[in-house]
Amino acid sequence: MPVRIRLARHGYKKNPLYHIVAINSKRPREGKPLETLGIYDPIPKLRAGVVVPPQANVFGNEAEGLIKKEKEIKWNVDRINYWLGVGAEPTRSVVKLLERGGVLTTPHKWQHAWSPTPSSTTPSSSTSSTQQTISQ
């Protein structure tokens, strides 16, 4: 059973909220996950506990940067490391989030099924290039 770490979309129309989940790769996007590992809210919002200065209520200060809106991301690093250690494959978007958050320290390599690998070159071209390097 190949396990993927991916985003499951929740929320409303034009207001997405994603759960970071470990799930069987054959399941649909909103299928039942094996485990929920975190939450990612990509829409910047003014979070509770953020102190807004009184002059920020003036029109236009939001564009000038006085009011800071933040994207929210919460995850369980121990469980993510467990699933990565077991062999779960994260999707591209999850890899980007984990790299930006500092969970993945080494860059993740993607192996595309459609791109040629170095071992899949034709044998005739590889032997001719070897012969050329030997003769020179």
Question: What number is the average pLDDT over the span 36-50?
Answer: 83
Closest CA to 38 of 1, 66, 3, 79: 79
Distance of CA 130 to the CA centre of its chain: 41
pLDDT of residue 5: 94
Tokens of 111: 């192996």
Q: Which amino acid is at 82?
A: Y
pLDDT of residue 31: 85
Q: In what order do the strands lie in the sheet with 35-45?
A: 70-75, 35-45, 15-24, 3-12, 89-90
Question: What number is the average pLDDT over the span 69-81?
Answer: 90
Tokens of 72: 């929210």
Question: Contact, 73 vs 102, CB < 8 A?
Answer: no
Distance between terminal CA atoms of the chain?
51
Mind listing the pLDDT tens digit for each residue in 103-132? 888 776 654 444 455 555 555 554 444 444
Share of the chain above pLDDT 70, in %: 61
Listed by start position, the domains of the chain span 3-108
Task: Give the β-pairing of 89-90 and 3-12.
Answer: parallel
* pTM of the complete model beyond 0.75: no
Name which CATH class applies to 3-108. alpha beta
Share of the chain above pLDDT 90, in %: 40
